[in-house]
Chain A
Amino acid sequence: MSRITLKVNGGAHTVDVDPATPLLYILRNDLNLQGPHFGCGLGQCGACTVIINGAAVRSCILPASAVKGEITTLEGLATNGKLHPLQQAWIDEQAPQCGFCQNGQIMTAKAMLDKNPHPTDAQIRESMNNTLCRCMSYNRIQAAIKRALEKPLGFQPPDTAERVVPLTHGAASGGSRASKKAVVA
């Protein structure tokens, strides 16, 4: 075991773990983040994607001790309570089915657009091609990316001072449904 400090979504967290532990397990189990998911543990599907130094990284195969730099997870995309334009486009296009893969889809798309703000259709397909979805929401995802492109994306460096890591979440079981509007009100 060793003490490792991780910078995540603007906060810093020190954990005492086996340094070989994949980052994913620490994000999920120690930092209580629910964005990154376990899909394969093999770097094949993208469910566990986080952004480190601007690159989409598969946290299931990244040992915690190898992390260099600031980690952004899906929880860290919104700024001051306002969804990132990609997240909004995901809602507007009703992209998810079960949603389990969408962390990987959104984070991979963000890293792609940060590097190349005006991708062609072919570039979108290519950049997203290794991020899988078993509900086959691909067409909706591509539509959402294109929708986000129509607006200025306004990517800004994260405002670390004001960012709060959401360590606890109020949502009840997945069996409970309300309009987001209603819940937030």
Chain B
Amino acid sequence: MSGNIPSQVEEILSTNRRGFLKTAGLLFVGMAAPDAPAADAPGPYPVVDPRKLDSWIVIHQNNTATFYVGKTDPGQGTGTGFRQLMADELDIAFDNTTCIMGSTDITVDQVGSGGSTAMERDSLPMRRVAAEARRVLLEMASARFGIPVDGLAVSEGVITVKADASKHVTYGELIGGQKFNVTLSGANAASVSGKAKTKTIPELKIAGKPMHRDDIPGKVDATTKWAVDVKLPGMVHARNVKPPYACAKLTGIDEASVKGLPGFIKVMNKGNYVAVVCEREEQAVKAARQLKTTWEKPATAPFPSSEDLFRYLRNAKPAAGTTPLQEGLVGNSEAAFANAAKTIEAEYEIPFQGHTAFGPAHATADPSNGQMTIYSNDMKTYGMRRGVATFLGMPQEAVRVVYMQGSQGFGRTAAEDAACEAAWIARELGRPVRMQWMRDEETAWDTKSPAFLVKMRGALDAKGNLAGYTYDALSCDYNHLGYNEPDTTLIAQLMGQRRAKPAAGSAATPSDMYAIPNRRMNGDVVALPAIWETPLRTGNLRDPNGPQAAFASESFIDEIAAALKADPVEFRLRLLEAGTGDDSGFRRARSIAVLKAAAQKYGWDARPSGKPRGAGKILTGRGIAYTFRGQSMVAQIAEVEVNRETGHVWTKRMVCAHDCGFVVNPESLRTSVECGMLHGLSRALHEEVRFNTEKVTSVDWVSHPTLRHADVPESMEIVIVNGDPHPDRPDLPLYGAGEACLKPTMAAVANAIYDATGVRIRRVPFRPERVLAALKAAGV
């Protein structure tokens, strides 16, 4: 097997892993049942100790290594990135490593994924423990050869005596299959450290190289085993029966309506939660459709209709007990407005947008041995473990979550609801249960990204400078769902659980480095009439609230530039260069660098936007927007074709300049950025959750459109910038990626539509009917 990992090793590792952690024993290869992950692990499932080196790394006798990390990778390539970094620190060939992620009983709790922090933050302890393993192995070799460590060289898992190359030993020969028994310092998974120093960035050889993602082959040859594929002995299928109206009260269930159906097992009910369970999947689908239930509508409407939403928000007061988010206060903006030669005002509207997972929420729960095992694709498996334990009133050690691949999540999705539902039913029935949401449930009832209403004002002084700026946002985010808080899952709400204090939710302010002498930014959270048992529950979606804030602020900066007859790139550069200082991440300098890089790549022609309209049917224009997420800077240019007869917008070309510092895997960064830009484009052109005053009416891909193949730009260009002003620094940092790239897209497209047509669209999404109406109103 030429030094590579034997074919079965990954299953064996995951199944025998806890035994290994408990004892100092060797790994027994060949005993696992690959189709039943961890079936030999009856529980309980204690938390994996992050201070033990053995919790992170196992070296096998054949000189391969397995890394265990507490992260999840829903398809952006972080798993491959972790392997690159850890293989580098350990000094072992990339192909001789595997990485096990996210299962709560065999990996340390690194919280799972979120916030694009995988590389920026959570890869740091991984690097430290891998460096420590290398150090320990060198000491073992030193003792074996009787030669000080500095007389040894290490390459690809082989330690050689520098003075006598005939003397060498592999990692596998030194420790293969045995424990390190090394205790690390540090209080938790984020802070663990050994004695070894990590390598400087220039010393890394594998990280920084473009690498094919290791999860892709299985996804194209159908060998990946997904969370939806789990099959357990005695497993049954469950389907929810959702209330037909938001906030409705269940008044009756006619069990006779499904009793005779083949395979029917049971109707599950508590409070307003209803589900059916059948032996086979199609039987459960049928029974859920056929079950007769009666419901009472709420006395008052739970929400305004989506058509009325922004009127409602305009009159709404901040939700009781919430505190406004106030940021970036500079100077005295009201004085600037009092002295303004000209004041510009605009309001921007961003509707609720869904996660709308491509594969609806699902989970399988196994109650065997008085424990509870959940098979899930949720990106926060560790929180899910705690959440399910609390929801069921079980000790945490009795619950584990096995992380498996699934449809994209991009934040707090209904995957958590499905896990609690599967677990509750499994415990009630005493059988393994597979819960699967249907398409209409997913689209209507999955968590939403909050609607925003943003009011912006700009004060121009007599010399045509932007002297004052205010941003006031209302975010429809009250009682926002946290991660794995059992009392906020939908099943808990439907069963009548209520938190004493609803979560405050959050607004957002723009992320830019513009130097504006007088500036005030404020965000408030408002509530809809109903905050419980509602399909308009909000939960984090990919850079929560960032795209909304950036749509308003970067559209508005464009409006100011247009009012001043300034080129949009030059105007932004002027605002950036008006400042002199910088922060520790050189955000100002790096903002300037991405703007310039995007403009250069595009071949930007400097002129004010709102170019003279052509006479033809198709109007073309280009727009730019810039923002950042954390320390990752991004500038994007969209070039659009607007059909003045239909209102259809095609984004013909997109350019993105992206700076996230040192790039671990340029190939997966490029693909993630490209897909993120298109996600931004989908939100710009298509996505809006629609509802009447009784229920969400977006229930499938027709009533809730998404981007399609025909929408894809003819050309997508990505420039990876490293705008650090000190390129020779040995320690260029790694910053997050994955979310920043979709943040400016809605604004870039709106700015391009303005350039093409002279018409400003301040309401997302830019569907043909809305664009056409705006063009007509403006006489285009």
Contact = CB atoms under 8 A, between A and B. Distances in A.
Contacts of B213: 94
B46 interface: no
A51 interface: no
A40 B218 contact: no
Interface string A84-101: 000100110011111111
A136 B262 CA distance: 40
A185 B2 contact: yes
Given A78-B221, A99-B216, A139-B716, A176 B408 contact: no
A35 B222 CA distance: 5
A159 B308 CA distance: 60
Contact of B358 (A17, A106, A132, A181): A132
A109 to B, nearest CB: 10
Taking residues whose C-beta sits less than 8 angstroms from the other chain, chain A's interface range is: 35 or more
Contacts of A170: 7-8, 11, 34-35, 223
Contacts of A103: 222
B763 interface: no
A179 interface: yes
Interface in B2-22: 2, 4-8, 10-11, 13-15
A25 B219 contact: no
Contact of B710 (A129, A169, A171, A180): A129
A128 B679 CA distance: 18
* Secondary structure type dominating chain A contacts: loop
A171 B218 contact: yes
Identify the interface centre among B37, B213, B675: most chain A CB within 10 Å of its CB.
Answer: B675
A25 B404 contact: no
Contacts of B5: 178, 182-183, 185
Contact of B712 (A18, A25, A142): A142
B222 A101 contact: no
Identify the interface centre among B226, B285, B377, B672: most chain A CB within 10 Å of its CB.
Answer: B226
Nearest to A94: B671
Contact of A34 (B75, B229, B282): B229
Contacts of A172: 10-11, 13-15, 34, 37, 225
A126 B375 CA distance: 37
A149 to B, nearest CB: 16
Identify the interface centre among A22, A77, A125, A175: most chain B CB within 10 Å of its CB.
Answer: A175
A33 interface: yes
A57 interface: no
Given A135-B408, A175-B103, A94 B222 contact: no
A116 to B, nearest CB: 15
B214 A37 contact: no
A156 interface: no
Interface in A1-45: 1, 17-18, 20-22, 25, 28-29, 32-35, 37-42, 44-45
Contacts of A180: 214, 217-218
B225 A125 contact: no
Identify the interface centre among B1, B74, B216: most chain A CB within 10 Å of its CB.
Answer: B216
Interface in B666-692: 667-668, 671-672, 674-679, 681-682
Interface string B423-456: 0000000000000101100000000000000000
Contact of B667 (A37, A38, A94): A94
Interface stretch (B159-167, B505-513, B701-709): B701-709
Nearest to B675: A136
A173 B14 contact: yes
A39 B4 contact: no
A44 B704 CA distance: 11
Contacts of A18: 262, 282-283
B98 A136 contact: no
Contacts of A71: none
A34 B10 contact: no
B215 A184 contact: no
Contact of A97 (B75, B99, B357): B75
Interface in B347-376: 356-360, 375
A44 B226 contact: no
Contacts of B228: 28, 37-38
A124 B226 CA distance: 29
B179 interface: no
A85 B708 CA distance: 24
B262 A1 contact: yes
Given A37-B228, A174-B406, A175-B103, A94 B716 contact: no
B350 to A, nearest CB: 19
Contact of A40 (B37, B220, B701): B701
A137 B76 CA distance: 11
Contacts of B217: 91, 180
Contact of A21 (B103, B220, B282): B282
A47 B35 contact: no
B102 A175 contact: yes
A130 B708 contact: yes
Interface in B692-724: 700-702, 706-713, 716
Contacts of B83: 177
B4 A181 contact: yes
A1 to B, nearest CB: 7
Contacts of A136: 675-679, 681-682, 707
A133 B358 contact: yes
A102 interface: yes
B80 interface: yes
Interface in A64-118: 73-75, 77-78, 83, 87, 90-91, 94-103, 106
Contacts of B282: 17-18, 20-22, 25
A98 B407 contact: yes
Contacts of A177: 73, 79-80, 83, 98-101, 214-215
Nearest to B438: A41
B94 interface: yes
Contacts of B337: none
A98 B408 contact: yes
A39 B1 CA distance: 39
Nearest to B78: A177
Contacts of A52: none
Contact of A138 (B98, B402, B405, B709): B709
B632 interface: no
A181 B280 CA distance: 37
B651 to A, nearest CB: 12
B4 A102 contact: no
Contact of B281 (A29, A101, A142): A29
A74 B98 contact: no
A43 to B, nearest CB: 10
Nearest to A100: B407
B713 to A, nearest CB: 8
A114 to B, nearest CB: 18
B358 A175 contact: no
Contacts of A168: 34-35
A34 B225 contact: yes
B403 interface: yes
B96 interface: yes
A45 B96 CA distance: 38
A104 B11 CA distance: 28
A128 B710 CA distance: 8
Interface of B: 1-2, 4-8, 10-11, 13-15, 34-35, 37, 64, 72-76, 79-80, 83, 94-103, 107, 212-229, 231, 262, 280-283, 285, 356-360, 375, 377, 402-408, 436, 438-439, 667-668, 671-672, 674-679, 681-682, 700-702, 706-713, 716
The 8 A-B residue pairs with the shortest CB-CB distance in the complex, in nearest-first order: A174-B405, A99-B219, A136-B678, A98-B75, A185-B4, A174-B404, A97-B75, A35-B222
Given A95-B220, A174-B406, 20 more contacts: A18-B282, A39-B358, A47-B359, A94-B213, A97-B76, A97-B672, A100-B358, A100-B406, A102-B220, A125-B712, A136-B675, A166-B223, A168-B34, A171-B10, A173-B14, A176-B98, A178-B97, A178-B98, A182-B97, A185-B7
10 contacts: A28-B228, A99-B75, A102-B219, A132-B706, A168-B34, A173-B402, A174-B215, A176-B11, A177-B100, A179-B94
